[in-house]
A and B are shown apart, each in its own frame.
Chain A
Amino acid sequence: MAEAKGDSHRWGMVVDLDLCIGCGACVVACYAENNVPTVGVEEVSMRRSMTWLRIERHWKGEYPHLRADFVPMMCQHCQAAPCEPVCPMYAAVHDQNDHLNVQVYNRCVGTRYCALNCPYQMRVFNWFNPYFPEPLNNQLNPDVTVRKRGIMEKCTFCIQRIHRARDAAKAELRAIRDGEVQPACVQTCPTEALVFGDLDDPHSRVARLARSPRAFVLLEELGTEPSVFYLKRGGSHVV
């Protein structure tokens, strides 16, 4: 089945901004799943946090009538990604089968060219060697590489989970079911603001949501064709 044409997917995500409460559970899940190191207050205040997924808070109004809008931001997995052509080493490449924007750590030499060229600023550089203080060192995910200093990394849509689901489906001689692959952030989201699936499958939940009139992509005018769709605020299901 894996060789069949039908095994090609365009993995994508839908983020419902109505449902996001800004709790940050997805961020924590991402740290845990992908062996993302914590860097401490000083580095974070230098805008060097290693997070692959961040909740951007946009404040509105003046103090008593203050309100925060939360926008979860992760790699948008563009189909015409600006980060890919500029990499001199083919470290930032396109996965033609899964239509993912992948980063091959072994090839990266750390020019940081891709990071400049990402209009979403979602690429993360390893300024130092990673450090996992006790007891975080005991929960490293064996499926994910620990990256060293000097290389670029970013959200992979939890590619290790995609591969595991593909292997499972292949063993059972079936296609991957909708909802079978869930990145850590999607799995953890308490309000189901994040939905993941195959955008090429018109019946998948994510494809249906992406067709919603509320759907938009960030910086559409740049023509990057992101795989992450946002559903703008003010949907009918919100009281």
Chain B
Amino acid sequence: MSFEMTVPRPLGRQDDGAAHDVALSHEEELRRRHLMMDPRPQGEMSQMVMDSMKRTGVEFWVVMAVLAVIALVGFLGTWLYQIHFGLGITGLQRPVFWGIYITGFVFWIGISHSGTFVSAILRVFKVEWRRSITRASEMMTSMSLLVAVAFLGIDIGRTWRGYWIIPYPNQRTLWPNFHSPFLWDAMAITSYLVGSTLYLFLPLIPDLAMARDRSVGWRHRLYRILSLGWRGTEAEWRNLQMAITIFAFAIIPVMFSVHTIVSWDFAMTRVIGWRSSIFAPYFVVGAIYSGVSAVVNILFLVRWNMKLDYFVREEHFEAFGKLMLILSFGWTYFFFADLLTEWYGGEAIGHEILAIQFHGQMQPFWYIMVLCNIVIPWLTLWHPKVRRTPIVLFFIALGVNIGMYLERYIIVTGFLRRNRLPFNWGEYAPSVAEAMIGIGSVALFLLLYGLFSRVVPMIPVWEVREGQLAHALRRFGRTKVTSVSELE
């Protein structure tokens, strides 16, 4: 026995049993790692998705009830209170006229970005591992866009007149002012909300039909209406694929335009530190960075709460970990370029802006931001083990979201504190009401997402199935390799 072990054998001369074992373990490893290589019957997958929606423990509803209370009191209640008494209940003051409401707006718009980014870009480039996670991320886009739009309503002084932003023929015979970046915002966000919701809905139709066929009672009635009479004929599939392709391509420029225009809300003004040509790409990269991190958070919660370990695997977290690292490089590049030009320019007021970041009131936030957005991702994400451990990646992603929130907080409320006439320099700290709305917005988002996750099939079963059919193990010489056939 020991003699045999020590004598080297020519390649390909092992006995057949061992070769079979090696091939088998390789195959098992592939199955374990990749959803696409681990096919299960479609009925079983559909049942898993249906079960994830229906089998909900009491704990979940308790959490939802708590979130509902926080959202009702913190978000809606405080908002109504503010509408009644006026924006004076905030900590806003001259010259800091925008506070954490606008910070929250930019933050949630940023979050909304990556849902569609992940889904559309990966779909366009035919990235196969995207198949099971597109739904969860697209849902995030729609929900967070709603929260972002609510923040615009909260921020303005007369919320009840906010609808004037819509260009419609009216008794005042006035159009809104198309010179204002806010109007561009309104148009871009409306397009994005409509586009991304349709983009969420289109791939959902076959899944809704699947759910229709597997449910009774109110669910059946709901899915019957929503699935638009889907039967799964050849023509229906062809049209659906065409529509999805068109939307996937069309939504990408819309997505870029939204955050570009959000950055122009700032970059088009005369506020020192805001007026910067780099803001548009800087904000887009920042949005994708925070959004991808938010997708990681959401995927982790969905997988854990809905027991979807079969569909959401370590390979997904690993891929997102890489994406986060690359986006961290990209964001840092813009961040550094923006800082350097401000510093090198040497304008006194520009240096005041830097001073409040480096050793002024924004100093702690600035260092936490650098820690969360640069130091931690750079030190950890290069390691495959970190990327493959979902709980670790979850906390890194949470850190990135905190860091990105602070980045917006510094840009919005920090830069406004200094301006050209020092008599008007001021301070700002969010009031209790603002903090409640900020916390309430997170609760609202989680509540919306949680409720929808119990109605909307969270995994596009047909897309997973399609991918699994296209994947095959083929013998190549003595080894087996993965092959993917091109889908028509």
Contacts and interface: CB of A to CB of B under 8 A. Distances in A.
Interface of A: 43, 46-48, 56, 58, 71, 73, 82, 85-90, 107-113, 115-117, 119-121, 125-129, 149-152, 218-219, 222
B164 A109 contact: yes
Contact of B177 (A71, A90, A127, A152): A90
- Which secondary structure dominates where chain B touches chain A? loop
A121 B88 contact: no
B162 A127 contact: no
- Highest count of chain B CB atoms <10 Å: which of A46, A48, A126: A46
A112 B271 contact: no
Interface stretch (B62-70, B211-219, B417-425, B454-462): B417-425
Q: List the 6 closest pairs (A to B, CB-CB), nearest first.
A: A110-B157, A150-B157, A127-B88, A149-B86, A88-B182, A112-B97
Given A113-B182, A116-B416, A129-B86, A222 B157 contact: no
Nearest to A224: B270
Contacts of A119: 270, 419-421
Given A47-B94, A109-B158, 10 more contacts: A86-B180, A90-B174, A109-B165, A110-B158, A111-B157, A112-B98, A128-B85, A129-B86, A150-B159, A218-B421
B197 interface: no
A120 B269 CA distance: 13
A151 B158 contact: yes
Nearest to B175: A90
Interface residues of B, number: 41
Contacts of A115: 94-95, 97
Contacts of B268: 86
Contacts of A126: 86, 157
B9 interface: no
A222 to B, nearest CB: 7
B176 interface: yes
Contact of A86 (B92, B269, B421, B426): B269
A227 to B, nearest CB: 18
Contacts of B419: 119, 121
B368 interface: no
B423 A86 contact: no
A89 B88 contact: no
A58 B179 contact: no
Contacts of A107: 164, 172, 174
B177 A121 contact: no
B39 interface: no
Contacts of B88: 43, 48, 127-128, 149
Contacts of B92: 112, 127
Contacts of B420: 119, 219
Contacts of B175: 90
A115 B158 CA distance: 16
Nearest to A113: B182
Nearest to A86: B180
Contacts of A112: 92, 97-98, 157
Query: Which of B92, B172, B177 has most chain A Cβ within 10 Å?
Result: B177
B342 interface: no
B186 interface: yes
A88 B176 contact: yes
